[in-house]
Amino acid sequence: MTAERIDGKIFAEGLRGRVGVLAAEFTARTGRKAGLAVVLVGEDAASQVYVRSKGKATIEAGMAGFEHRLPADTPEADLIALVETLNADPTVDGILVQLPLPAHCDEGKVIATINPDKDVDGFHVINAGRLAVGQAGFVPCTPLGCLMLLRDRLGDLSGLDAVVIGRSNIVGKPMAQLLIAQSCTVTVAHSRTRNLADVVRRADIVVAAVGRPEMVKGDWIKPGATVIDVGINRVGGSEPGKTRLVGDVDFAGASAVAGAITPVPGGVGPMTIAVLLRNALVAAYRNAGIDLPENAI
């Protein structure tokens, strides 16, 4: 048995295409483009790459991108003042403050300043609460992308046994809430879970988001299970040509057992920016008081 590869790149391209069509409709109806503001503080190399990619994707989707790059020593008060200005700007529908922030800035305080209805990252505690009680809000992009891939592969998820490995606020916890909302039976596991391999073996769905290279072994996987690997880990040292990207799952071992699995790279990764664009467009429609066609994105 060889698992089917779940191609996140192809799915993400389709989602971005649908976003582009609806973004054009939004512009035609309102006379302006949906607007996404991205704030970057400091010179973190990975963050700069992410911000550049997000900005390019925003323009390609037919939306307006507002990029704010601030020096690493920007006072927290100035950053908060910028966020408050963006909250009040009617041309800005979504606000994303790129993490991590410099140590002198309190991430929780900054995120709490974002208008929850413009919080397209889904990190605000109000959006976390909305997700927990089943109200409409914004969900972090990576777990929502994982859910889209699962529903595309499996259809109705109700009654399935799901194990989420990882309990972060960005992936693990919201992923569990999304699966509960789909009527799955959900276990949230982590590094301190006893008999973790046995816990994973009973799962029809495994979402690995623990940040440990190839921690989940092939013999942990239930035959025919669907495996979503959120991990992106660099291994092999820093020498040119020797570094490679691997997930949190032993891909070769799991592929021999699972029914379907996301590769790394090319699985969950492309979904994150696509879902960010989707969230920004949803924010624009909501802020303008326009209904989106049901299940359009």
Environment class of 90 (CB within 10 Å of its CB; exposed 0-12, middle 13-18, buried 19+): exposed
**With contact defined as beta carbons under 8 Å apart, do 186 and 180 qualify?**
yes
Euclidean distance between CA atoms 114 and 119, whole angstroms: 6
First to last CA, the chain: 33
**Angstrom distance (rounded) from CA 100 to CA 249:** 25
Token digits of residue 101: 């922030």
Look at residues 8, 83, 16, 9 and name the one whose alpha carbon lies nearest to residue 279.
16
Q: Which residues are catalytic?
A: 54, 98, 121
SS (H, E, C) 127-165: HHHHHHHCCCCCCCHHHHHHHHHHHHHHCCCCCCEEEEE
Specify which residues 234 forms β-bridges with. Answer: 245
